């Protein structure tokens, strides 16, 4: 995926963002890394965007992506989770911005096994 354009897009339309996102994810199949891809997109009336991806890779590992985005004025990623697990369901890594219950703060965190 082209990170310099795709992930830092701010004044892009919601439809263009979805097209770039989908194109980036579909490269997993194009390059032969994915056995299956499930991409769910929902544009809500309040201009919030909900994206969920499940990619089963050829080694049976699974990548889950969830993004919740406010698109009213620019692309503003409100919450996200990128979760990668092995075929047995064991965590390989997870990046998210969920609230940390021990500190009460919301920040980017990384978990790796």
Residue 45, SS3 per DSSP: coil
Domain that holds residue 47: 3-112
In angstroms, rounded to a whole number, what is the distance separating the alpha carbons of residues 90 and 104? 27
In angstroms, rounded to a whole number, what is the distance separating the alpha carbons of residues 105 and 65? 22
pTM for the full model? 0.79
Name beta bridge partners: 82.
65, 95
Per-residue pLDDT tens, the chain, 113 aa: give them: 344 444 455 577 888 899 999 999 999 999 999 999 999 999 998 889 999 999 999 999 999 999 999 988 888 999 999 999 999 999 999 999 977 555 555 556 666 66
How many domains, the chain? 1
């Amino acid at each position: 995926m082209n990170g310099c354009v795709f992930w830092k897009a701010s004044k892009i339309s919601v439809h263009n963002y979805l097209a770039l996102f989908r194109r980036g994810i579909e490269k997993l199949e194009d390059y032969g890394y994915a056995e299956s891809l499930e991409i769910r997109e929902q544009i809500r009336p309040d201009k919030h965007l909900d994206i969920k991806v499940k990619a089963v890779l050829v080694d049976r590992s699974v990548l889950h992506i969830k993004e919740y985005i406010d698109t009213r004025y620019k692309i503003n990623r409100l919450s996200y989770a990128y979760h990668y697990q092995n075929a047995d369901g064991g965590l390989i890594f997870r990046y998210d911005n969920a609230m940390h219950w021990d500190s009460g703060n919301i920040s980017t965190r990384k978990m790796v096994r």
